[in-house]
Amino acid sequence: MPLRFVHPVHRATHRIGLYLDNLREPGLTQGEAHILALLAHRSPAKVADLHRGLAHKRSTLTSILDRLASRRLVTRAVGKTDRRTFLVTLTAKGRKLARRISRHLSDLERSVIARVTAADIKGFNNVVIALEHEAHHGTRARRL
């Protein structure tokens, strides 16, 4: 039996990456774009919040943040109230790009919303939540 959820989600994720390429932002990866889009609405953010928001492996997230910091799109600083946390903040250059990415992805979502019903969206969200839950559960079970 062909995969009914995993392949379509993977294909859609790949297409979103190609859609992000339309921004013509040299060197911008899909992972970087998604973090910047998240920061467009949540800056500053704790690294833990970014991890929860996008579910990257911590090492992957650190690598992406390193690249964004080297391009002067974000800064990282130790938290003032909790020295164990790091806060990620968009720079002026990062804010400009983050807004551009966020608008671009919002345009995509608006186009999709125009083509589907509220019930379709609810069903899609239910499937995605179940996929994420089961994949997360399966990952944790293997670690034990």
Residue 143: predicted pLDDT: 54
Same domain for 82 and 141? Answer: no
Same domain for 59 and 92? Answer: yes
Is the separation of the CB atoms in 89 and 74 below 8 Å? yes
Same domain for 29 and 41? Answer: yes
Distance CA 23, CA 26 (A): 9
Distance CA 144, CA 139 (A): 9
Distance CA 41, CA 142 (A): 34
The answer to whether position 43 is within a domain reads: yes
Structure tokens belonging to residue 19:
């859609």
Residue type, 105: L
Q: Which of 65, 87, 66 is nearest to 76 (CA)?
A: 87
Q: Which structural domain range is residue 90 located in?
A: 6-113
Strand spans (E) along 64-108: 74-78, 86-90
Same domain for 95 and 140? Answer: no
- Tell me what the mean pLDDT of segment 68-81 comes to: 91
Residue 55: predicted pLDDT: 86
Q: Which of 52, 101, 53 is nearest to 73 (CA)?
A: 101
Residue 86: predicted pLDDT: 87
Higher pLDDT, 2 or 93: 93
- Tell me what the mean pLDDT of segment 95-111 comes to: 97
Higher pLDDT, 137 or 96: 96
Residue 140 — pLDDT band, cuts 50, 70, 90?
low
Distance CA 90, CA 73 (A): 6
Number of domains in the chain: 2
Phi, psi of 47 (to 5 degrees): -55, -40
Across the chain, what does the average pLDDT equal?
91
